Amino acid sequence: MPTTGHHTLIRGGEIVTDTRQFRADILMRGESIEAIAPQIAAPTGCTTIDARDMLVFPGFIDPHVHIHLPFMGTLAKDTWETASKAALLGGTTTMIEMVCPASGDDPTAALEVWMSNARDRSACDYSFHMGVTRWDDTTEAALTSIVRRGVASFKVFLAYKGALGIGDEILYRTLALASRLGVVVTAHCENETLIAELSRELLAAGRTGPEAHHDSRPPRVEASGVDHLMTFAELTGAETYIVHLSCAEALERALAARARGVRVGIETLIQYLVLDKEDAERPNFEGAKFVMSPPLRDRSNQAVLWNALRRGDIDTVATDHAPFDFATQKRLGEHDFTKIPNGIPSLEERVKVLYGRGVAEGAIDLCTLVRVASTNAAKQFGLHPRKGSIALGADADLVIFDPRARSTISARTHASAVDYSAFEGMSVAGAVRDVWVRGARAVEDGRFVGRVGHGRFLARPHRSASLSMSGGTHG
């Protein structure tokens, strides 16, 4: 591990940012990028890395992950140790985790639980979105103080009735507060009443398997959730961000709102770009591996999503990493699809698959890859230009990527603690070779060499003039 001021020189790589590609050397010093130039002379004692024929990306950012996730009667499988290793092996150097208190739980206490799970246990940098699941006389003050600590975004669920889901009063109050505090509200958009009624009808008709999950939450249910959020955003003036948008219908509603001036960022997931509804129809309950919400869609939606990434209509590609074991946890819903823990793990695979299926197959170019998997998330959530860029003074979060290698994805070799991969056997062009987090090597030749505990909490700024910040980057 470099000591303060240690130099590492990355020589001769093809640097890719969100806007351009150029050949140059990069000199890291301590935790930051000190120089970028065609031929940098190596300072004394410098470690030199040959990156000829390689691509050099800014560290990738995943703005939507679940690590500590008590959900649907069980607890997601990863810890910060396993998840941050998986992230780094996949080129992700910063993650933003959703804090998901059970409805009724105290937000400040919940944040402490999520923070203490990550503290000293993460090998990559991290931050949080604060889930809002209750509202009483103390909530506004509690959320204001949480924002002051640098957790400068909220998360609301318009689905999951009776669990994480919130009603319209809380939605309105959260958006109104966010508007005053100058923070973004991220939202899971599905109409929960429609889901409950459709699920009831499907179960009554004997459709109990994982393949019925899609029909309990068809595209119109998601589009309705998007419309709902957009109406509330319009009336409160809040800045919003739609998480895990899956289909053409929902995209159309979000873009219509954006066109009339609603402030909305749009995220899709790597799962929706390469997996589809037929995966959740696999026999022998295998489909349960692919149950998530919103569900995997008809394949025709994939081209719409890739086009929207290319055009800049969709801003980010995240994972919504939610790891539940197939052998035990997914089986909780063996006789009732509504009890299958929702979620697909994809933390380690996001960048590889986005490159292999996106860039290598011509769906997006390299700058778009960087934009949607790194820079836009940094900009949206107050981390730019420290993160998401290759620039003087930025954090030395860098990924050397070998475009000529191939990666084959398997649960047998992945770092996540979950017992299956939704991408099992997929072979994709390209491989993550080396990764640095603030100047410290975390991956070398595809092997994890980082340090659990190196990861740092990133306090993010809000945009309210009247609110001061407290705390530092250590939370």
If the CB atoms of residues 67 and 308 are measured against ligand URP, the closer one turns out to be: 67
Burial of 417 (0-12, 13-18, 19+ CB in 10 A): middle
Amino acid at 148: R
Q: Which two tokens stand for residue 18?
A: 């969100």
If the CB atoms of residues 55 and 178 are measured against Zn ion, the closer one turns out to be: 178
Give me the DSSP letters along 216-246: HS-HHHHHHHHHHHHHHHHHHT-EEEE-S--
Least CB distance from residue 435 to ligand URP, whole Å?
Answer: 26
Task: Tell me how far apart the terminal alpha carbons of the chain are, to the nearest angstrom.
Answer: 23
The residue within the footprint of ligand URP, chosen from 209, 225, 343, 475 (CB under 6 A), is 343
Least CB distance from residue 191 to ligand URP, whole Å?
Answer: 14
Beta bridge partners of residue 76, listed in sequence order: none
The residue within the footprint of ligand URP, chosen from 77, 85, 134, 188 (CB under 6 A), is 188
Angstrom distance (rounded) from CA 475 to CA 471: 6
Tell me: does residue 342 bind ligand URP (CB under 6 A): yes
The residue within the footprint of ligand URP, chosen from 66, 85, 217, 456 (CB under 6 A), is 66
Chain position carrying tokens 């309950």: 285
If the CB atoms of residues 163 and 452 are measured against ligand URP, the closer one turns out to be: 163
Q: Which two tokens stand for residue 178?
A: 């966010």
Closest residue to ligand URP using C-beta atoms = 342
If the CB atoms of residues 222 and 249 are measured against ligand URP, the closer one turns out to be: 222
Burial of 112 (0-12, 13-18, 19+ CB in 10 A): middle
Q: Which two tokens stand for residue 31?
A: 């935790």
Q: Which stretch binds Zn ion (CB under 5 A): 30-38, 167-175, 214-222, 314-322?
A: 314-322
Tell me: does residue 62 bind Zn ion (CB under 5 A): no
Q: What are the distances in angstroms from CA 190 to CA 175, 358, 383?
A: 17, 27, 28
If the CB atoms of residues 179 and 293 are measured against Zn ion, the closer one turns out to be: 293
State the pairing for strand pair 32-37/21-29.
antiparallel
Least CB distance from residue 292 to ligand URP, whole Å?
Answer: 3
If the CB atoms of residues 294 and 450 are measured against ligand URP, the closer one turns out to be: 294
Tell me: does residue 293 bind ligand URP (CB under 6 A): yes
If the CB atoms of residues 344 and 467 are measured against Zn ion, the closer one turns out to be: 344
The residue within the footprint of ligand URP, chosen from 292, 363, 428, 435 (CB under 6 A), is 292
Least CB distance from residue 282 to ligand URP, whole Å?
Answer: 17
CA 167 to chain centre: 25
If the CB atoms of residues 280 and 370 are measured against ligand URP, the closer one turns out to be: 280
If the CB atoms of residues 91 and 345 are measured against Zn ion, the closer one turns out to be: 345
Q: Which stretch binds Zn ion (CB under 5 A): 39-47, 117-125, 298-306, 320-328?
A: 320-328
Q: Is there a contact between 344 and 322 (Cβ–Cβ < 8 Å)?
A: yes
If the CB atoms of residues 147 and 292 are measured against ligand URP, the closer one turns out to be: 292
DSSP 347: T
Q: Which two tokens stand for residue 231?
A: 């109406």
The residue within the footprint of Zn ion, chosen from 78, 190, 320, 348 (CB under 5 A), is 320
Angle 43-48-49 from CA coordinates, rounded to 5°: 155
Q: Residue 59: which of 468, 401, 466 has the closest Cα? A: 401
Q: Which two tokens stand for residue 399?
A: 């990924």
Window 178 to 197, contacts with Zn ion (CB under 5 A): 188
Choose the contact partner of 134 out of Zn ion, ligand URP, none; CB within 5 to 8 A by kind: none
Q: Compute how many other C-beta atoms are within 10 angstroms of the C-beta atom of residue 277.
A: 18
Maximum Cα interatomic distance, the chain, rounded to a whole number of Å: 74
Choose the contact partner of 292 out of Zn ion, ligand URP, none; CB within 5 to 8 A by kind: ligand URP
Burial of 168 (0-12, 13-18, 19+ CB in 10 A): exposed
Choose the contact partner of 269 out of ligand URP, Zn ion, none; CB within 5 to 8 A by kind: none
Least CB distance from residue 151 to ligand URP, whole Å?
Answer: 18
Window 310 to 329, contacts with ligand URP (CB under 6 A): 320, 322
Contacts to ligand URP by CB under 6 A: 66, 188, 244, 292-293, 320, 322, 342-343
Binding site for Zn ion (CB under 5 A): 188, 320
